[in-house]
Structure 1
Amino acid sequence: MSTIPTDPIWIDQNHQLAELCERWRGQGAVAVDTEFMRSETFYPIAGLLQIGDGQGCYLIDPLAIDELEPLRALFQDPGVTKVLHACSEDLEVFQRWLGVLPEPLFDTQIGAAFAGLGFSIGYANLVNTLLEIDIPKGETRSDWLQRPLSVPQKKYAALDVAHMLVVYGKLLKMLRETGRVEWARADSADLVANAKAVPDFESYYLKLGSAWKLRRRELAVLRRLSAWREREARERNRPRNRLIKEAGLWELARRQPSDRAQLQALKDVPAHTQVEEGEALLAEIQVALAEPESDWPERLDPPLGRAEAPMMKALKRHVRGIAESLALPPELLVRKREYEAIVRSGLKGGAFELPPRLKGWRFELLGQGLLDAAEQQRSSLPDEEEEQ
């Protein structure tokens, strides 16, 4: 077996990157990773791009490279699979820095899960499992915007892509033997599709865990404030919580202060937030309260309770049986919120429905069984009159 090159090769010239991208577009796959910073910003700041091609580990400097079209062309080349690991945050980096996402994409964490190596396995553990090679993680919290990068930083970054193509090849072999390659590719493609989705600021209030406790008028305020926070965080490039935390949004929706004095009485809206954002928050509340009642959001469903427990257990039992037969973790097949969505779809007496993700290849595997299991447990659900 030939030695895998692990020495970092620094790239900070436009012509170097252009030449490499042209070469990489002639091969079937490249390994990709990023290092970034985002502690003080909403958007991640690209500090380093690593690409491994089996011949070298290239560290591309985003702070020096400013001709990005060759890289965009590589990322959009349908003939080159971009191999990453647990890449959700990497996709955010590419979206902000390059304006494009890598397609087609193969996520080795997803591939490893379908290969039976565990759910959400870390990259270092995966390399150790498949190749018996230890990868140090000492530079995880480094400052990737400093220049020059230290020798340990460069070595660490290079190792993140040095072995990835070999890991990818081994995973493909394992997945082909079990007929699961397309499952892994489909779930990897879902990551890209989700990253492309246009954010709906008006629906962000739905992500607040206690929103179901609020009445419609309060929800109208919460919706307005949540949308304001999302827009402002992006426009100012500041973390959401630096503007106002969720607890503050919830309290504002409940109390609906109309002036500075009432605002100052709220314990979950800190003094610095009142000073910096107070006028804006009060104005948003007044706009929300001026909306006609017909435009207020409907009340949200409470968390599922005891009455729905038998159906939840039946659904999970069905999935667990299939997962065990395939030697796969059940959570890889169906997520918690998807079980809940199935149950909720039938609470009003209509037909049970599957969430979109369960209508692809998962439907053939377990979709109809989930619908049947739900229907068999329908009698355990409270009817609409009882809920009211």
Structure 2
Amino acid sequence: MGGDVPVNWDPQDDDDRMIVRQDDFVRYCDHLRKCESIAFDTEFVSEDCYRPDLCLIQVATAGGMALIDPKALDSVDLFWEVLTDGDHETVVHAGREELRFCLFATGRLPKRLFDVQIAAGFVGLEYPAAYRTLVHRLAHRDLAKEETRTNWRHRPLTDSQIAYALTDVEHLIPIRETLRKRLGKLGREAWAAQETDEWAQSVRAAELHEPWRRVGGSATLSSKGLAIVREVWQWREETARRRDCPARRVLRDDLIIELAKRATPNLAKIRSLRGLERGDLKRHLEEIATRIQNVLAADKSTWPEPHRSTSAGPPLNLLIQFLQTALGCLCRDRKIAPGIVATSQDLRDFVAHRLGLGDRADASQISLLQGWRRELVVEPLDRLLAGEWSIGVENPVADQPLRLVSFGTPAEERIELDE
């Protein structure tokens, strides 16, 4: 990207790319404001704290690479402000945690996001592909594994840690360029951009809109049960934030679900629940009981609505397996990763809707009926469901022996699906 300029900051040691002084950090952020593309990654520790403990920010631009040390600086808020302001492109790999840091600091997301993991799925590479895999496939380099379990809180960082951290961003912009060219040849820039935007918005929603719905096992609960989950989850979050520890260390998800199913503020019944006998939890059972009582006493109109289930049950299992295999054939021919197109639940929802089975969702809620997915798969899936297409053996000894065929036609008349 020709608009980038050399890094305009002057550390004490010309060979030291670690930014550990606040004035250097401010100058570096001024440089970033002038860049057309900013690639970044983070190193953090999350197993013993409420929110991930940010230990290092790795950044790459056309002007070079740098490491920002949050442990040495007063604040790195300016970096997140720069990242979420302006019209530069932000490049990441599997950047969920990186987006969460943006949201924690600013409540906003970068405006132009390019996730190389998502883009790789749209050009026929595996999805989700590890960074090492993409570097090997697209940059023809093999990355070291030595520091994958390193303690990023420890200072000073070793030369090996610094080198490892830099490789995490060194190839992001070149890989982005390669993927962009391939997307252009396939005419899929808009598809990748749409998927990236929807993915980023899902990260935002998970953090800012009803995050309590992520409690495992809550999807099948009634409104009353969901209201209890929401209230107990809120208590857990407040407690975890106060202690600065992971929320699930305060109270496991399965125990929240069991409390919701029992739906009682009776302290004796709550104490009888296996898993709540832990000493530190015992001190809070009365508070939990009060929270549940508050839910039961509240107006039912304040209880959350359950998400509609679109599952049509076990009878579809064999059909879904067949369609997954057929989808794999289609995706191979169209040079797109099956994993980015549909999950088994997506297929189940689609079939239930098409066949009028079960508690069907509205068409707008069926992922395979939206956007680029509709364009790619609806006609083939409809033909498969109608019995017009099937799966045939192309070459029994090939790596990919199967191919979609028109039902009952000879091999020489098999459907050509290549773009």
TM over 0.5: yes
Once the 2 structures are TM-superposed, how far is the Cα of residue 162 of structure 1 from its aligned partner? 1.3
Q: Deviations over 1:340-378 (max 9, x none)?
A: 4435554347865543685223232234665x569969x
The one-letter amino acid paired with 1:263 is I
Q: C-alpha offsets along residues 319-338 of structure 1, whole Å, 9 cap, x if unaligned?
A: 44531321222221123333
Query: 2:60 aligned with 1:19, yes or no?
Result: no
3-state SS in 2 of match to 1:168: helix
Q: Deviations over 1:214-259 (max 9, x none)?
A: 6665555345334443455456543221121122123323444545
Describe the shift of the 1:114–1:57 C-alpha distance in structure 2 as closer, same or farther (beyond 3 A): same
Q: Rate the CA distance shift 1:98–1:294 in 2: closer, same or farther, 3 A.
A: closer
State the partner residue of 2:123.
115
- One-letter amino acid of the counterpart of residue 288, structure 1: V
**Which letter does structure 1 place at the counterpart of 2:124?**
G
Number of residue pairs matched by the alignment = 367
Residue 267 in 1 paired to residue 274 in 2?
yes
Rounded Cα–Cα distance in structure 1 between residues aligned with 2:385 and 2:191: 27
Aligned counterpart, 1:32 = 40
Q: For 1:295-328, what per-residue CA distance to the aligned partner results, in whole angstroms no more than 9, with x for missing partners? A: 6666975954233446645764664453132122
Aligned to 1:199: 208
Does 1:77 find its partner at 2:91? no
- Go from structure 1 to structure 2 and tell me whether the alpha carbon gap of 1:295 and 1:344 turns closer, same or farther (over 3 Å shift): farther
> Among residues 148, 171, 180, which one is paired with 1:172 in the alignment?
180
Partners of 2:116 and 2:168 in 1: CA distance: 12
Indicate the structure whose relative CO is greater, using CA pairs within 8 Å and at least 6 residues apart.
1
Query: How well do the aligned residues superpose, as a CA RMSD in angstroms?
Result: 3.4
| Residue matched to 2:373 | 362
Structure 1 residue 143 corresponds to structure 2 residue 134 = no
Q: What 5-or-longer segments of structure 1 have no aligned partner?
A: 1-6, 378-388
What corresponds to 1:250 in structure 2?
A: 257
CA distance in 2, matches of 1:349, 1:67: 47
**Distance of aligned partners of 1:343 and 1:290 in 2 relative to their CA distance in 1, 3 Å threshold:** farther
Aligned to 1:385: none
Asked whether 1:91 is paired with 2:99, we answer: yes
Conserved 8 A contact 2:93-2:131: yes
2-side partners of 1:216 and 1:103: how far apart?
A: 36
- Map Cα deviations across residues 151-182 of structure 1 (whole Å, 9 max, x no partner): 22111111111122111111112221211222
**Match of 2:274, SS?**
coil
In structure 1, how many angstroms separate the alpha carbons of the residues matched to 2:32 and 2:92?
A: 15
Task: With the length of structure 1 as denominator, give the TM-score of the two structures.
Answer: 0.80
In 2, the alpha carbon distance for the partners of 1:283 and 1:69 equals 42
More off after superposition, 247-256 vs 341-350: 341-350
Amino acid in structure 1 at the alignment position of 2:373: R
Opposite residue 276 of structure 2, the aligned amino acid is V
Cα distance change, pair 338–42 in 1 and its aligned pair in 2 (3 A): farther
Superposition pairs for residues 29-68 of structure 1, below 5 Å?
A: 29-63=37-71, 64-66=73-75, 68=77
Q: Which residue of 2 aligns with 1:229?
A: 236
> TM-score under structure 2 normalisation?
0.75
Give distance in 2, aligned partners of 1:266 and 1:27. 57
Instruction: Show the counterpart of 2:397.
Output: none
Alignment match of 2:292 (pick from 285, 289, 308) = 285
In structure 2, relative to structure 1, the CA distance for the partners of 1:98 and 1:306 (3 Å cut) is: closer
* C-alpha distance in 2 between matches for 1:235 and 1:374: 55
TM-superposition CA deviations, 1:268-298 (whole Å, max 9, x none): 3242353242122111222233345676666
